[in-house]
Chains A and B, each alone.
Chain A
C-alpha cells in the first residue's frame, strides 16, 4: 500500500510497498540484497551491486546526521495547508539518505548541518485515510511500535 506514504502520494505501487505498512506499525525499513548483502535505505527491490531482484526488509535504527535542509515557504499543490515546513536531507547510519520533515522536537534555531538526528515513523492521525510518513527529531526520541500479535 505504497499510496499510504507521504502527504501526497504519486506512487501507488512499488515492489517495496510494504515499507509503508511497516512504517504504520512504527518500523523504519531499509533493504538488504539476499544475494550479496548490499544494504541501503530507502529500500530497493533491485540490487545496484549484483543485479539480483531478491531482497528482504531490514529494520533501521533511524539514526542519521543532517546533511542539508531548507524551509519551504512557497508550497506546491497539495501542501498549501502545511506551509511553512522544513525539509531535511539526512545521511543515514550505514548507507543511504532520506528526505523528511523536521518534527516537533527540533526548532528552527536548533537546526545545524552535521547534527545527529532520529528518524521517527509517524501517522497523519487526523486524516480519514491511512497516511504515514516519518519526521526528523532529536536523538533519543522514542515512539510506539505495534507488537507482533499473539495468535495462540
Chain B
C-alpha cells in the first residue's frame, strides 16, 4: 500500500522517546517532514531529528511544555512557516503520576490533567485552525486502554486518557465537514521507557492479560498511526482503535 504521505508536514508531541519517536520516524520513512516536541530529553530529540533528515525529510525539534497553550499555537505556526504546510497532528506526550485518591495531592491531579488532557487540547486546537481552512487534516490522539477502563491508583491518568477519547469524538463531529479525520489509538502495555517505572509483578499481570503473550513495540503503534494519517483510512473518524494484544477485550 502506498500511504501517499510524500511531502506532508507532521507534528508529533512527546516525540523524543518511545511511541512518539517511533511514530516520527515511521512518518519520515513515508516521506513526511516531521517536527517533534520534547520536555527534557534534548539528546534523544536531536537524535530523532538527525534520523528524520537521514530519511530525506525536514526535521525539527522544539523544546516545549505541552501544557502551555501559547507555546502550542506558536509551535504550529512555526512548523507551517518552516515546512510550508501541516497535514498531520499526532498527540502523544503524556505522563503518569499514580496514587490512590486518598493520598493524591492536588498537584498530582492537576499536573497529569494539564499535560495529558489540556496538552492534547492545546495542539488539537492549533492544528484545527490550520486544517479547517485548508479543508484537509489528520489528527491522531494517543490514549490508552486505561482510558477505557479504570485501573487501581490511576484516577488522574484514567480521567485524562478517558477525556482524550471523548474530546476526540467531539472534534471528529466538528471537523468532519472540513475533510479532517480525528481518531484515537489506545495501546495497552508498550515496550518503552515509561514501562521501566512499572514494577515487575504489574508487568506480569499485564502480560497475562494479553492473548498473544507479548507487549506492543513502539513500531507496532507507529504502523497503526501512519495508516490513520493516510487517505486510505479516510472513512475512519471519531473512532478508538485499541492496540493491546487483546489485553482489554
Binding site for B on A (CB under 8 A): 24-26, 123, 125, 128, 130, 143-147, 149-152
Closest to B8 in A: A150
Taken together as a complex, chains A and B put the C-alpha atoms of A128 and B230 apart, in Å, by 26
Closest residue of chain B to A147 (Cβ to Cβ) is B136
Which chain B residues lie closer than 8 Å to A128 at the CB level? 173
B133 contact set on A, CB distance < 8 A: 143-144
Chain B residue with the shortest CB-CB distance to A130: B177
- Nearest-CB distance from A7 to chain B (Å)? 16
Cα A146 to Cα B135 with chains together (Å): 5
**B119 to chain A: closest CB distance in Å?**
25
B209 in contact (CB, < 8 A)? no
The residue that B4 contacts in the complex, of A123, A125, A152, with Cβ under 8 A, is A152
Within B17-37, which residues are at the interface with A (CB < 8 Å)? none
Q: Is B231 an interface residue (CB 8 A)?
A: yes
Chain A residue with Cβ nearest B132:
A125
Closest chain B residue to A25, Cβ basis:
B135
6 A-B residue pairs with Cβ-Cβ distance under 8 Å, sorted by A, are: A24-B177, A123-B178, A144-B135, A146-B179, A151-B4, A152-B232
Question: Shortest Cβ distance from B181 into chain A, in angstroms?
Answer: 11
List residues of chain A with CB within 8 A of the CB of B5.
150
A124, closest chain B residue (CB):
B177
Q: Is B41 an interface residue (CB 8 A)?
A: no
Contacts of B134 in A (CB 8 A): 144
Known contacts A25-B179, A150-B231, A151-B232; decide if A145 and B135 are in contact (CB<8 Å).
yes
Tell me if B2 is interfacial: C-beta within 8 Å of chain A. Answer: yes
